[in-house]
Structure 1
Amino acid sequence: MSRFRLIVLALLAPLALGACGTTPRTLVLADTAQGDTVASFPIFVATTRAPAEKPSYFTGERAATLSFARLDMTVPRAHKPGELELPAVGAKADPSLHFAVNKVTPLERDPITAQVRAELAKRKPVDRDVLVFVHGYNTNFADASYRFAQIVHDAGFKGVAVLFTWPSRGELLQYPYDRESAFYSRDFLEAALRGISRDLGASRIDVLAHSMGTLVTLEALRQAKIRGDGSFGGKLRNVMLAAPDIDLDVFKTQIDEIKRDVTVFVSADDRALAFSRRFAGDKTRLGAISAKDTEIVADLEKRGAHIIDLSEISTSDQLNHGKFAASPKVVQLIGRRLQADKGIAVAGPGFGDRLGDITGGVVGALGSTVELVVTAPSAIAGR
């Protein structure tokens, strides 16, 4: 074994308990009986992954062009918010117990454009939004699809869901390959956002990116700004970055060029980002700061980054890297953020509720509340 692999294995030792098995998860089709599920909805896919035969459908290798697909997803009757109930790898899903997929339909550009337009047209004008999810490192196609389905349901999102999935190989030791794949995919994400804004009839576009997916997202937004239309025809609204695996110095240059507000979910106990920091030259990762880093937070706020510190929140995620989706309150409040600019009154904790009241701990030296930060981040600019 090479010295490089030995060093990487040593760095990965703290993550071993949280690592998935070596067998990759796939999308296993399941028949759904009446009463099995509490929700069903389509997820539309744009991907730079190379196509494959079922049940993989798309690999971790790079394609020269975008491919498209539609997934018909179901949410099990037994689902609990914040949980992602899945069968054992290789086992068939029970739709009453697990997130499942009824059908996977590969599509060309024109058919998927027509289908998304039709889905948007079914909705009330206030709900004609597109939510684009960009997953992170060490994530294969199936894992990204299931996680996004859980987020869409738990957030109560009423618009149309679009998964942008890039060529992560879904393996812990493939961090360098995944990072290069993130850069490879930035032009394609920009093109996908351009197409959504121009061709689909969407009123607004929201982007939620996780981990290394935030690198793909910020690079695409930076390019779009340089090209002269960083707002995608005025339709880009929320940009939310969860556990961003980005060098803090690099992020500052990106947001200075993008010149728009972004919401950033961070956690000082993120074990995956602790590994990333050692792998990437011992430089601070944006997603690993906390409200205790007062000078850093104040500087980022001035640049338009609104920080939500999740350090005190406990979830079932052993790596503390997916708190934004694994915490029921946080994913539900993301849903409120998606509705906030529509003039809709939403039920839930008031502006006076502290994050500590929700999670059982005291979080955020800035004194802001999750409700305030998530639904109206501009209200805390400069705090």
Structure 2
Amino acid sequence: MSDLLNQIQALSDADAVALLRRFIRALGTGLPKPELVQRQAQGIADALSLVAAPEEITSEGDIARSALQILAGDARFRESLQTMVSNAHSTFSRSDGQIEVSDLLAVLQSQVPATGGAMQQTDRTAAAQPGLVRALARHLLRTVGLQPSGTQADAEYPVWYATSRKPLDRANPSLGFGVERDHCIHYGICKVFIPKSHKVGSTGSPWWKRLLSATDDRMRVLTTDSLQVDAFFQKMQQHLRQSNVEDQDAVVFIHGFNVSFEEAALRAAQIGFDLQIKGAMAFYSWASRGSVKMYPADEASVELEETPIADFLCDMAMRTGARRVHVIAHSMGNRGLLRAVSQIAQNAERRSGVRFGQIILAAADIDARKFQELCKAYTLLSERTTLYVSSRDIAVEASGWLHDFPRAGLMPPITTAAGIDTVNATNADVSLLGHGYVAEARDVISDIHALIRHGAAPAQRFGLRLATTVDGAPYWLIGA
């Protein structure tokens, strides 16, 4: 344990609580808009209440020491904490002027549930671990003058869609969309039910878990409303204008193979809800057949989506008024996105008005050489591009075996490219197939949240460790 962690662990309950309160107050008073601090803190609290266990921690000192140890592991806070621990009368100095209370809360949210990390568990804190997130949230909110929201209520979350699928009934698009490709793109909004029992990374538990828990935590699509293309973008623009300035971002999710329209809507809603996207969460649903047996058909289908995806992304960037448009592609959806972005980059007239925020590529089922050949387009059009890879991804491994060529999302070998951050998510995902970590693994969700919210480089994001390939190329490790 470092000297700073030892000093924190040795603090009495009263001293630990006093130090944490002084630290957060000093952090908050430096912000130009105190009301913004409160709004951000409340939003984090709402999200925390979703995943917190019912147990509570009895010792406020344990809460404070745990929080301080977690914060001491973050380079943004370490030096100031060391000064404050050593000098009871020192104040917190923000050298870069960028740190906000939401940064602090986000660090706690992402790190408390994890094992290890910066927190050094005592017998008492280990025993209280299930309730630590909720207790920390309450303690920190009290410090900035807020009360927690309590148990999260059921919610409805809107997701905006564009799809190349044929409607199940052309006369009534509200019935949804099937598996065949149409000759035009359809637009609209789905409203998705989020139960109060929702857990981060899940769209719903298997039947046997619901039976054992006597709780139905399944998300479900409530309505599917169709819109004409102009009305779609006008309505989204109006929606974004009504949001707070810091929330006027849009995120587009492009799903992978073996996904139905309804499944795409649920996954987009889960990602948007868990990432706390308050602007516009959208998804592009290409005509996947929604069956493992139809892999060749899905390959043929996604090859036809290059231009429609390019058009949709350009429209999102140019017609919505969004502050930034971020893109998340999963699995086979990376094939459509890579070709679409390459098309945009090659068209100088189109590219002049198009710029994206974060481009996030996960479990990419695409030939590694083709990826390296075309991926420069990402660096031309985005603020930052991040490629998440894994060695435990059975789905992408099967694709590599089928094609007899390495896939960009599977390691070894690990795919790296100039201007693109590669993150090894092998240790972050413990699911059976190891393929859904972009939406299901808490560490990855927290990292994507940091990317979208702050656009920080890997070295500035909590929980990433630098590594190098055998050729000396840098990449990053996430997870225990």
> Would you call these one fold, judging by a TM-score over 0.5?
yes
- Give the match for residue 402 of structure 2: 279
- Measured against aligned partners, the alpha-carbon deviations of 1:170-227 in whole angstroms (never above 9, x if no partner) come to 1111111111111111110111112122222112110000000011111100001111
Contact 2:428–2:444 (CA<8 Å) still a contact in 1? no
Give the C-alpha shift of residue 41 in structure 1: 2.3
Are positions 1:49 and 2:168 aligned together? no
Are positions 1:340 and 2:459 aligned together? no
- Give the match for residue 218 of structure 2: 98
Contact 1:42–1:73 (CA<8 Å) still a contact in 2? yes
- Measured against aligned partners, the alpha-carbon deviations of 1:243-293 in whole angstroms (never above 9, x if no partner) come to 00000011111113554452111001110011111222x100010025xx4
Can you give the 5+ residue segments of structure 1 that lack an aligned partner in the other structure?
1-34, 89-93, 343-348, 357-361, 372-383
- Give the match for residue 322 of structure 1: 436
Relative to 1, partners in 2 of residues 1:327 and 1:120: Cα closer, same or farther, differing over 3 Å? Answer: same
Relative to 1, partners in 2 of residues 1:49 and 1:239: Cα closer, same or farther, differing over 3 Å? Answer: same
For residues 363 and 57 of structure 1, the distance between their equivalents in structure 2, rounded to whole angstroms, comes to 45
SS at match of 2:226: strand
Give the C-alpha shift of residue 97 in structure 1: 2.4
- Measured against aligned partners, the alpha-carbon deviations of 1:288-341 in whole angstroms (never above 9, x if no partner) come to 025xx4xx54xx242x221110112243x3211111211122112211211114
Contact 1:354–1:368 (CA<8 Å) still a contact in 2? no
Within the candidate set 205, 219, 234, 1:114 is matched to: 234
Are positions 1:59 and 2:178 aligned together? yes
Give the C-alpha shift of residue 42 in structure 1: 1.1
Within the candidate set 175, 178, 189, 2:298 is matched to: 178
Relative to 1, partners in 2 of residues 1:231 and 1:289: Cα closer, same or farther, differing over 3 Å? Answer: farther
Are positions 1:249 and 2:369 aligned together? yes
Aligned residues: 313
Contact 1:74–1:101 (CA<8 Å) still a contact in 2? yes
- Give the match for residue 259 of structure 2: 139
Relative to 1, partners in 2 of residues 1:323 and 1:232: Cα closer, same or farther, differing over 3 Å? Answer: farther
Are positions 1:313 and 2:428 aligned together? yes
- Measured against aligned partners, the alpha-carbon deviations of 1:144-173 in whole angstroms (never above 9, x if no partner) come to 111111111111222201110000001111
Q: Which moved more, 1:205-214 or 1:229-238?
A: 229-238
Contact 1:138–1:170 (CA<8 Å) still a contact in 2? yes
- Give the match for residue 213 of structure 1: 333
- Give the match for residue 273 of structure 2: 153
The TM-score normalised by the length of structure 1 is 0.74
SS at match of 2:409: helix
After superposition, the CA RMSD in angstroms is 2.9
Amino acid in structure 2 at the alignment position of 1:179: E
Give the C-alpha shift of residue 132 in structure 1: 0.4
Relative to 1, partners in 2 of residues 1:241 and 1:314: Cα closer, same or farther, differing over 3 Å? Answer: closer
SS at match of 1:286: coil
For residues 240 and 215 of structure 2, the distance between their equivalents in structure 1, rounded to whole angstroms, comes to 26
Amino acid in structure 2 at the alignment position of 1:217: L
Contact 1:277–1:284 (CA<8 Å) still a contact in 2? yes
- Give the match for residue 193 of structure 1: 313
The TM-score normalised by the length of structure 2 is 0.60
Relative to 1, partners in 2 of residues 1:274 and 1:44: Cα closer, same or farther, differing over 3 Å? Answer: same
SS at match of 2:366: coil
- Give the number of the structure whose residues are more often helix, by fraction: 2
Relative to 1, partners in 2 of residues 1:95 and 1:41: Cα closer, same or farther, differing over 3 Å? Answer: farther
Contact 1:76–1:95 (CA<8 Å) still a contact in 2? no
- Give the match for residue 85 of structure 1: 204
- Give the match for residue 265 of structure 1: 388
Relative to 1, partners in 2 of residues 1:364 and 1:324: Cα closer, same or farther, differing over 3 Å? Answer: farther
Give the C-alpha shift of residue 234 in structure 1: 4.4
- Give the match for residue 75 of structure 1: 194
In our comparison, the structure showing a higher alpha carbon Rg is 2
Amino acid in structure 1 at the alignment position of 2:348: G
Percent pairwise identity: 26
- Give the match for residue 118 of structure 2: none
